[in-house]
Chains A and B, each alone.
Chain A
Amino acid sequence: MTSLPSIPTPKRLGLVIDLDVCVGCHACVISCKEWNTGGYGAALSDQNPYGLDVSGTFLNRIHSFEVIPEGGEVIGEAGEARIVHFPKSCLHCDDAPCVTVCPTGASYKRGEDGIVLVEEDKCIGCGLCAWACPYGAREMDLAAGVMKKCTLCIDRIYNETLQEVDRVPSCVRTCPANARHFGDLGDPTSDVSIMVAERGGMDLMPEQGTRPVNKYLPPRPRTPLAANADGLGSVEETSGATGFFGWLDNMLDRI
């Protein structure tokens, strides 16, 4: 059934991604691909894997952005341009447009924990859900012909044969910088909810009306480079000059 759960889900499982911490190493991309190609559903295929135009299905991709403040093109003047590494996967939206467009009932949002999943045996591979998602979270697997997406590692998080420390999504478990966190965002006392509240966690594209569960923590403000460069900002200030240079400063001012 592709109608969304009629009542708010008791748990809202999701990820919190710290853009201040992510170093863009792509380890989560690889561990996601590794885990999900052997776990739930069809394998994540690659096309032409040893050729020049290699491509494949990924449930998690890292973009890197350059963010330039107004007038920040020159280092040291008005703030600086900075690089933000940006992991992107399914946000498990409360108002998931990918679910309601599905004509077959293959796409659904679980009533108990809010995870958005695809029942691959029902998927006809029409691709409309990938069109409906503004975030590009769904990718068609070209070998299996079914839509693939992040399952929040549903085959890990409830898997009691794994050690407790491993019962988190593969990307979270593998992140060497601890930039990814997993938890219940519907519970205001959970670690992830507290983190979101303290750091001003944000939604991506709130104007799309999808109400994502996953939150992103913005990069912390940085001390501008100029503040650390001793004297760099004070070259115009000469009132403290004494002796010969004081006299020279005085004379140059008069000319």
Chain B
Amino acid sequence: MHPALSIIAFTTLSGFGYGLAAVLGLGLLDASAMSTKAAHILALGLIAVGLMSSTLHLRNPQRAWRAISQWRSSWLSREGLLAVLTFIPLIWSAWGAIIESRYLPVPGLFGTVGAIATVFCTGMIYASLRSVQAWYTPQTPLCFLLFAGAGGLNLATLAAIFNAGDVYILGLSAAAATAFAWIAKSAWRRRMLTAPPISTPETATGLAAIGRVRLWERPHSNENYLTREMGYRIARKHAEKLARISFTLGGAATVLLLLSTALFWATASSLAIIAAVVAVLCQTVGQFVERWLFFAEARHAVMNYY
């Protein structure tokens, strides 16, 4: 599948934003601290930038408001609707923290639930497409949720360092969430690489009874919308390398840095601060590469005709 930058930015940034919003909604950070107020703004900013980025790939964005209408059948519509609705408790919570310096449990918890539900819907947009076998698994929304949670906890740890909360607990939870996310991702990737394809050129043409099917001539000599959109190919050696980069940076390095943050916090706080900042950077880069591969490596059933 074609890895559109707008979608990669959207899923990554809004994932981190909703993850941070979910953590903030639990009231784990001291609402009166400046860094908590900044975290609220950051969460809303990431979500807003992500959502705006998602409209960049629309070819008629002026009608985007219609996209919240089909929540009965469409996961994309459900995501859009929940994203809009979740802004209400999130802005309310942010108001409480920024203006009144206090944690509001009711909008806080509603915001957490809304954030989790929205990220789940994002994952389900992909997991509901049987035509893309790599995505068609409950592991897809699980990975989206874990990555969002890990990113949120990581950012919350950074906020906690500036007098806002328990760095030890948050750092360790962030490390655990990150580890779980990448373990889930590695299971997802193993499934993608090893599962036998559900559709083949033989099932696509129905000609298995005669023999093995191979494309002899394309419909047109040039690329078309389908081959550009669905036929994106990445060389296996690059995919392997990029996967290793994402697992190393986003997974191993981030977990180690978060553990260092938690452990050094009491003794060497400047070291802990550096570790927390680098952890956020590593996780962001790893996450972008992971999301790029999520699209680039996924193969679409229509390519059985090409």
Interface positions of A (Cβ within 8 A of B): 1-3, 19, 24, 29, 53-58, 61-70, 72, 79, 81-84, 86, 88, 97, 99-106, 122-128, 130-136, 139-140, 142, 145-146, 202-209, 216, 218-219
Contact = CB atoms under 8 A, between A and B. Distances in A.
B301 A205 contact: yes
Contact of B216 (A56, A65, A131): A65
B130 interface: yes
Nearest 3 CB-CB pairs, A to B? Answer: A125-B59, A145-B59, A61-B219
A111 to B, nearest CB: 15
Given A64-B216, A72-B211, A53 B222 contact: yes
Contact of A136 (B128, B129, B215, B226): B226
Interface in B196-211: 198-199, 201, 203-207, 209-211
A124 B64 contact: yes
A132 B131 contact: yes
A142 to B, nearest CB: 7
B217 A136 contact: no
B36 interface: no
B215 A63 contact: yes
Given A101-B75, A103-B80, A146 B59 contact: yes
11 contacts: A2-B72, A55-B220, A65-B207, A103-B66, A122-B66, A127-B229, A131-B1, A133-B302, A134-B199, A139-B226, A218-B206
Contact of A29 (B61, B207, B219): B219
Given A83-B216, A203-B206, A206-B203, A102 B70 contact: yes
A79 B212 CA distance: 12
B203 A124 contact: no
B223 interface: yes
A68 B212 contact: yes
B58 A61 contact: no
B190 interface: no
Contacts of B61: 124
A204 B226 contact: no
A30 to B, nearest CB: 12
A131 B63 CA distance: 20
Given A103-B67, A124-B61, A135-B302, A54 B222 contact: yes
A125 B58 contact: yes
B77 A103 contact: yes
B43 to A, nearest CB: 24
Given A88-B305, A125-B58, A134 B131 contact: yes
B70 A208 contact: no
Given A2-B70, A70-B211, A124-B67, A131 B129 contact: yes
B219 A123 contact: no
Interface string B228-271: 01100000000000000000000000000000000000000000
B125 interface: yes
Contacts of A145: 59-60
Best-buried of A133, A205, A216 by chain B (most CB within 10 Å) = A205
Contacts of B58: 124-126
Nearest to A208: B130
Contacts of B210: 67, 69, 82, 84, 218-219
